[in-house]
Amino acid sequence: MEREPEGLRERKKRQTRETIAAAAMRLFKRRGFDAVTVAEIAAAADVSEKTVFNYFPSKEDLVLSEGPARRAAAIDAIRNRPPGTSLVQPFRELTMAYLDRVEHEPLESLVEIPRLVLASRALQQRLFVGWEEESAVLTPVIAEETGAAEGDLEPLVAARTLAWTHRLAFRAAFLRLLDGEDQREVAADLRRQANRAYDLLENGLAEYGTR
Amino acid sequence: MEREPEGLRERKKRQTRETIAAAAMRLFKRRGFDAVTVAEIAAAADVSEKTVFNYFPSKEDLVLSEGPARRAAAIDAIRNRPPGTSLVQPFRELTMAYLDRVEHEPLESLVEIPRLVLASRALQQRLFVGWEEESAVLTPVIAEETGAAEGDLEPLVAARTLAWTHRLAFRAAFLRLLDGEDQREVAADLRRQANRAYDLLENGLAEYGTR
DNA sequence: GTGGAACTTTTCAGCGACTGTAAGTAAGGT
DNA sequence: ACCTTACTTACAGTCGCTGAAAAGTTCCAC
């Protein structure tokens, strides 16, 4: 987590990276993701087109660049969960922490990226891939915490189940915010809803939908 | 499910569709998905490039064209599940039915498409999108069966959880088949594993990973 | 059957993401 | 100062995909 003293080289690199990302976001916000070309982004950042691809492997990564950070936070929450609690707890807390941000952060910073993603098929595709990568990273951590054997399905299932629950609360939140609902109201209702969903997972689906 | 008597028009349409798909699969199997261009497929099927895109909205759909059929089967299984059973049961049965195919179907027809998909990033992306679409279709069905209210998170979570469990058994199966494992062995072991995973969902995660 | 409407297919021109290569340039170690 | 290493750039090219308009086919009154 510590930042090593950067040489001049690293500093310049981070600087160009931020310049490119900032220029891209400015254009995306104004005209939408698909309508902006990489050539335009390169021109706005005063850099060659190839350099953009050097820093961001694809155009989509210009928008979805915080994915890795979220992944690290999730792993952290699992590893440092309070003793005596199951693996549901860290995810429940991740969701609640996010809902606090829904209540208190400025609206624009909450919906800015989701709005872009909703409007672009390419961005949604890239997002789904990132989600699956996240689950793939979470699986071995969960397997280790539960002492599962190599090839067991249980940790695979648990990772998807818990990660998706968090994502669905996340998605429900910004959809309702984009719909104009009040931030306090959305946060309060989704806290109830998310707790019920996590309770359902904890108590089991044995009776779910029995007729 | 019934096939209406086709007019000449529909018959010709289905025929070209099948010609194109067959030509494409032949090329893909020989040289891989990414190395084949749509122009080549069109030439092999003696059709214009645009016609290919008329029948298959994207190149990826040439490979993943049975998705809709699987979706319909899942909805059917949910709606016609045995009385007195929860929503876990139809998914458990879908998985077991697939594992029967793993045991008895010719190996090549089981691993042909998965092998293509594994080797192509574009195909995987398209697959993930299809999976999310499937979950989105399953959600209202589950909501209806459980009498959930509009905006509830529970049916969203349940749909993802159950659909993913089936997919993960599916994935585990063809990965092990591609690894050269015996079909009977894979089927037998995954029947155990899948049942344990569904049991975990039924009994709940309250104790899962508690330390 | 014949005329015209409706739909399919084709051709053509082009956009834009992304790649490979080769040459130029700046940074860090010695 | 020198050399190695890494990054940036320009250039040319590939390929998926789109749009418009023309040409061809099938369907349906009458």
Q: What angle do CA B155, A147, B161 make, to 5 degrees?
A: 10
Cα–Cα nearest to B94, from B138, B64, B126:
B138
pLDDT over 60 (residue A81): yes
Nearest to B142 among A146, A153, A209 (CB): A209
Strand D CB shell (< 7 Å): A 9, 13, 16, 47-51, 54-55; B 7-9, 12, 36-39, 49-50, 53, 57-60
Nucleotide nearest to A61 (CA to C1'): C17
Residues in chain B: 211
Q: What is the model's pLDDT at position B8?
A: 58
Touching check for B58 and chain A: CB below 8 Å?
no
Total Cβ atoms within 10 A of residue A202: 16
Rounded to whole angstroms, how far apart are CA atoms A197 and A23? 40
CB B142, CB B78: distance < 8 Å:
yes
Q: Does B92 touch chain A (CB under 8 A)?
A: no
Residues lining strand C at under 7 Å (Cβ) are A 7-9, 12, 36-39, 49-50, 53, 57-60; B 12-13, 16, 47-51, 54-55
Nucleotide nearest to A52 (CA to C1'): D8
CA of A78 to C1' of C18 (A): 38
Calculate the CA B169 to chain-centre distance. 12
Q: How far is the CA of B68 from the C1' of D15 (A)?
A: 28
Distance from CA of B195 to the nearest CA of A (A): 10
What's the pLDDT band for A183 if we cut at 50, 70, 90?
very high
Residue by residue, pLDDT tens for chain B (211 residues) are: 434 444 555 677 778 888 899 889 999 998 889 989 999 999 888 898 999 998 898 999 999 888 888 899 999 999 998 888 889 999 999 999 999 999 999 999 999 999 999 989 889 999 999 999 999 999 999 999 888 888 899 999 999 999 999 999 999 999 999 999 999 999 999 999 999 999 999 988 777 778 7
Q: Write the Ramachandran bin of A85: left for phi over 0, alpha for psi from -120 to 50, otherwise beta.
A: beta
At B152, the amino acid letter reads D
CA of A77 to C1' of C7 (A): 58
At B82 the pLDDT is 87
A141 lies within 8 A of chain B by CB: no
Tokens 């922490």 correspond to what residue? A97
A180: left (phi over 0), alpha (psi -120 to 50) or beta: left
Report CA A119 to chain centroid distance, whole Å: 17
How far apart are alpha carbons A45 and A73 in whole angstroms? 31
Nearest to A209 among B146, B152, B172 (CB): B146
Q: How far is the CA of B6 from the C1' of C4 (A)?
A: 25
- The span from the first CA to the last CA of chain B, in angstroms, equals 51
pLDDT value, residue A1: 46
Integer Cα distance of A73 and A76 in angstroms: 5
Nucleotides of C under 7 A from a protein CB: 8-12, 15-21, 27-28
B51 residue type, one letter: T
Which of B86, B172, B208 lies at the smallest CB-CB distance from A206?
A: B86
Cβ separation B129–A132 shorter than 8 A:
no
- For residue B208, the model assigns a pLDDT of 76
Structure tokens at A24: 């891209």
Distance CA B43, CA B39 (A): 6
- pLDDT score for A67: 84
Does A122 or A11 have the greater pLDDT score? A122
Nearest in space to B29 (alpha carbons), one of B21, B140, B67, A116: B21
Sequence-distant (6+) residues with CB within 8 A of A82 are: A89
Instruction: Kindly state whether B203 is in contact with chain A, defined as any CB-CB distance less than 8 angstroms.
Output: yes
User: Can you state the angle between helices B67-79 and B88-104, rounded to 10 degrees?
Assistant: 130
Contacts of A149 (CB under 8 A, 6+ apart): none
Mean pLDDT (chain A, rounded): 90
For chain A, say whether B201 makes contact (Cβ under 8 Å): yes
Task: Give, in order, the Cα–Cα distances in Å from A49 to each of A22, A26, A53, A63, A201.
Answer: 15, 17, 7, 17, 47
Confidence class for position A204, pLDDT limits 50, 70, 90:
confident
Q: How much is the pLDDT for A15?
A: 87
For chain B, the DSSP string reads ---PPP-HHHHHHHHHHHHHHHHHHHHHHHH-TTTS-HHHHHHHTTS-HHHHHHHSSSGGGGT--SHHHHHHHHHHHHHTPPTT--THHHHHHHHHHHHHHHHHS-HHHHHHHHHHHHT-HHHHHHHHHHHHHHHHHHHHHHHHHHTPPTT-SHHHHHHHHHHHHHHHHHHHHHHHHHTT--HHHHHHHHHHHHHHHHHHHHH-STTTT--
| pLDDT tens digit sequence for A142-175 | 999 898 888 899 999 999 999 999 999 999 999 9
CA dist., res. B105 & res. A172, Å (int): 42
- Single pTM value for the model: 0.88
pLDDT at A3 over 60: no
B132 contact A CB<8A: yes
Residue of chain B whose alpha carbon sits nearest to that of A148: B209
Closest-CA distance, A74 to chain B, in angstroms, reads: 15
pLDDT grade for A11, boundaries at 50, 70 and 90: confident
Q: Where are the alpha helices (DSSP H) in A45-104?
A: 49-55, 67-79, 88-104
Whether residue A6 is predicted with pLDDT greater than 70 in this model: the reply is no
